[in-house]
Structure 1
Amino acid sequence: MAGSTAAVGIIAGAVLLTGGLAAVGSASVAGQRLASAADAAALAAADAASGAVAGVPCDLAGELAGAFGARVEACDLDGLVATVTVAVSVGPVAARASARAGPPP
């Protein structure tokens, strides 16, 4: 009886550990995707601001962020430098990432 109780405890602990590691891995992947969305959106906005691509900078940023499943929360232009903040809801939590793009200083 004691051996089966110990086995159940070990299996339950392994299941909880696996679930926790899966949640951390999922959050890490979501964070990387969100950072990629912010980078792409900032690059698109900076390209439009410089005239390399036709369009309104923040509109292009919104289109690219939407392709990643994110939304633009802020889009600021300072000359040719674009700063974009994107967000996505992961369950009850809203994750955010920001990126800047433009010509070198």
Structure 2
Amino acid sequence: MSGGRRAATRVADRGSATVWSAMAAGALCVVFSAVLALGQAVAARHRAGGAADLAALAAADLALRGQEDACDTARRVARAQHAELVGCSVRGEIAEVTARARFGPYAPAVRSRAGPPGAWPPPDRPPGE
């Protein structure tokens, strides 16, 4: 009698490994998609940060020529880094820029400031602001 019960149990369990394998594969696909999305977000942030840093350095280099020349140069540098310049301001020798880079569905904007050492805060801003 026990042999009949074992045979019935085996027949009822047939195909359950396929269901568990399909569920595990689906879960792995979800985790893999999340990791890819996080990777795209990090790559976009790094691209925007690099573009903002280089654009700020370029603008600070030309800060004494005026804001228009400095920001035009910063815009060209950001474009060369596959980013767009969102904001640019020059106060004295300090240049502050904001760059945005698109990578996939993400478009983070990063702000960067550059100038000679000891030049911050600018003369028109009190310390701590």
Structure-2-length-normalised TM-score: 0.73
Select the residue among 62, 67, 71 that pairs with 2:80: 67
Q: Which residue of 1 aligns with 2:48?
A: 34
Q: Which amino acid letter does the alignment assign opposite residue 97 of structure 2?
A: V
Residue by residue over 1:28-64, the C-alpha shift from the partner in whole angstroms, topping out at 9 and shown as x without a partner, is 011111100000000000001146xxx9100000001
Runs of 4 or more above 3 Å deviation: 89-94
Residue by residue over 1:83-105, the C-alpha shift from the partner in whole angstroms, topping out at 9 and shown as x without a partner, is 00111344555310000000111
Q: Residues 34-53 of structure 1: matches in 2 within 5 Å?
A: 34-50=48-64
Aligned residues: 102
CA distance in 2, matches of 1:87, 1:37: 8
More strand by share: 1
Select the residue among 100, 104, 112 that pairs with 1:99: 112
Q: Which one is further off, 70-79 or 42-51?
A: 42-51
In our comparison, the structure showing a higher alpha carbon Rg is 2
Stretches of structure 2 that go unaligned for 5 or more consecutive residues are: 1-14, 119-129
When the two chains are superposed, the root-mean-square deviation of aligned CA atoms in Å is 1.7
Q: Percent identity?
A: 34
Residue by residue over 1:5-28, the C-alpha shift from the partner in whole angstroms, topping out at 9 and shown as x without a partner, is 000000111111111101101110
